[in-house]
């Protein structure tokens, strides 16, 4: 009998999960609360409650070769760094090519996901949903994939701003920002120097009378492009990443910080943060130093799983305890997985796809019997991961990590490209093809 899998969320992670379920012979049913795919990347003029929302000018910070799905390259004529509308075009191409949308139930909200009474034996879940007309339904699934991301609820730390209640102007979270026109010739302050805060401050600076930025800790500013006009993230190879890991952490940070300071002196612009480069996710922006004197601290988002009990997944201070950022370790049966709850130093899309490939194979019977024991000594209390190291870690569990020694013997040219060339999602795809021969 075919296993039925509930996929919650129709964004990039949800699409990858549907595709991976089909690849493994599982029957996916995706519940998407809105009327379209795309999740975070779908621009809407009016933000919806408990959903991420983007601004009109948003451009992705990862190059197209490193953000694509492993078996579906982005068209060659698309730019290296895509506008959100082109990302949506790519998602639609992917969904159409693999016929994914027929497995999605739009305008359907998940109200509750709970273990069945015989869960320790069956591993099954009761899932309650509600459609746009208020009709509620109950379903039984053999497994669940949660793909709602970590940009759920705006973090508004108003308690840190005494007097905000008597402020006569307007204040809002970055999710409510769409275009700069209404702020023309006015003064504005942007609180936050994450990627969104940096983008919005730069855009506002072109039309406002003056823009202020406020930061507690500063930030390391990373550029999209290298000094020769090549996408910076395409310069990361497996050899480079492996060699870097052999160096002491402080030396790794110093090397990266020196590279960032070659473009701009962070101290000169009051940007230099208190933390080292690899302690936190850097801010990616090509224009900040040219326009601003002061910098900001990003308020970001909070995430939660309101349809789950804390016994399944506990979220505290924006952290969730998950084995390799995917499986709740205390479950009797590994039939529920969280996909995309990571913030890699790279693109989330191929990471989510790799997680989905692993999870669906576990659902098919791949063992994770040592999960709870290993988790005790390996758990990490952050969603930030190193892109290459984490992708290889999960790829090894899936069985698609590039076998460099074998590649060098059977196809030396390909092996050298994998070792010294850019680390792209396609590496795992052709390794899968080789494995199945």
Is it the case that residue 65 has pLDDT exceeding 70?
A: yes
Is it the case that residue 22 has pLDDT exceeding 60?
A: yes
Q: How far apart (Å, rounded) are the C-alpha atoms in residues 283 and 39?
A: 22
| Confidence band of 190 (pLDDT split at 50, 70, 90) | confident
210 strand-pairing partners? 187
Question: What is the pLDDT at residue 289?
Answer: 44
Please state the φ and ψ torsions of residue 210, each to the nearest 5 degrees. -160, 145
Residue 129 in tokens: 């949903």
Q: How far apart are the first and last CA of the chain?
A: 27
323 vs 280 pLDDT, higher one: 323
Question: What is the pLDDT at residue 376?
Answer: 40
Residue 427 in tokens: 């590496």
Q: For each of the domains in the chain, give its residue range(s) and CATH number, in order of start.
A: 4-152+301-401 (3.50.50.60), 156-291 (no CATH), 403-437 (no CATH)
Question: What is the pLDDT at residue 378?
Answer: 38
pLDDT (tens digit per residue) in 288-298: 444 433 233 33
pLDDT (tens digit per residue) in 220-245: 777 788 777 778 778 777 877 777 77
pLDDT (tens digit per residue) in 87-111: 999 999 999 999 999 999 999 999 9
Q: How far apart (Å, rounded) are the C-alpha atoms in residues 30 and 99?
A: 13
């Amino acid at each position: 009998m075919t296993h039925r899998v509930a996929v919650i969320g129709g964004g990039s992670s949800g699409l990858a999960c549907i595709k991976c379920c089909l690849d493994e012979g599982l029957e996916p049913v995706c519940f998407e609360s809105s009327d379209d795919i795309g999740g975070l990347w779908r621009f809407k003029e009016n933000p919806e409650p408990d959903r991420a929302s983007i601004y009109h000018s948003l451009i992705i910070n990862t190059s197209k070769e490193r953000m694509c799905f492993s078996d579906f390259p982005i068209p060659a004529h698309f730019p290296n760094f895509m506008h959100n509308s082109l990302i949506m075009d790519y998602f639609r191409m992917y969904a159409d090519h693999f016929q994914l949308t027929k497995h999605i139930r739009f305008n359907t909200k998940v109200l509750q996901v709970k273990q069945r009474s015989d869960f320790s034996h069956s591993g099954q879940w009761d899932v309650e949903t509600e459609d746009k007309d208020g009709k509620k339904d109950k379903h039984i699934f053999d497994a669940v994939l949660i793909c709602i991301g970590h940009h759920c609820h705006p973090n508004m730390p108003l308690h840190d701003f005494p007097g905000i209640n008597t402020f006569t102007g307007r204040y809002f979270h970055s999710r409510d920002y769409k275009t700069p026109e209404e702020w023309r010739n006015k003064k504005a302050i942007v609180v936050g120097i994450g990627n969104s805060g940096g983008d919005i401050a730069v855009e506002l600076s072109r039309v406002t009378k003056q823009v202020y930025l406020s930061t507690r800790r500063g930030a390391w500013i990373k550029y999209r492009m290298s000094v020769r006009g090549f996408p910076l993230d395409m310069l990361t190879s497996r050899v480079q990443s492996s060699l870097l890991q052999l160096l002491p952490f402080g030396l790794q940070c110093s090397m990266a910080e020196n590279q960032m300071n070659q473009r701009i002196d962070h101290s000169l612009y009051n940007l230099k943060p208190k933390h080292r480069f690899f302690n936190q996710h850097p801010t990616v922006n090509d224009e900040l130093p040219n326009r601003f004197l002061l910098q900001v601290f990003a308020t970001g988002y909070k995430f939660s799983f309101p349809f789950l009990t804390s016994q399944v997944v506990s979220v505290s201070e924006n952290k969730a305890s998950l084995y390799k950022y995917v499986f709740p370790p205390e479950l009797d049966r590994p039939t529920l997985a969280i996909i995309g709850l990571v913030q890699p130093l790279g693109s989330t899309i191929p990471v989510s796809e790799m997680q989905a490939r692993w999870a669906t194979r576990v659902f098919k019977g791949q063992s994770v019997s040592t999960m709870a024991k290993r988790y005790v000594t390996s758990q990490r209390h952050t969603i930030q991961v190193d892109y290459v190291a984490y992708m290889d870690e999960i790829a090894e569990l899936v069985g698609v990590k590039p076998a460099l020694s074998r590649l060098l013997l059977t196809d030396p040219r390909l092996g050298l490209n994998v070792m010294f060339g850019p680390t792209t999602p396609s590496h795992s795809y052709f390794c899968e093809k080789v494995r199945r021969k």
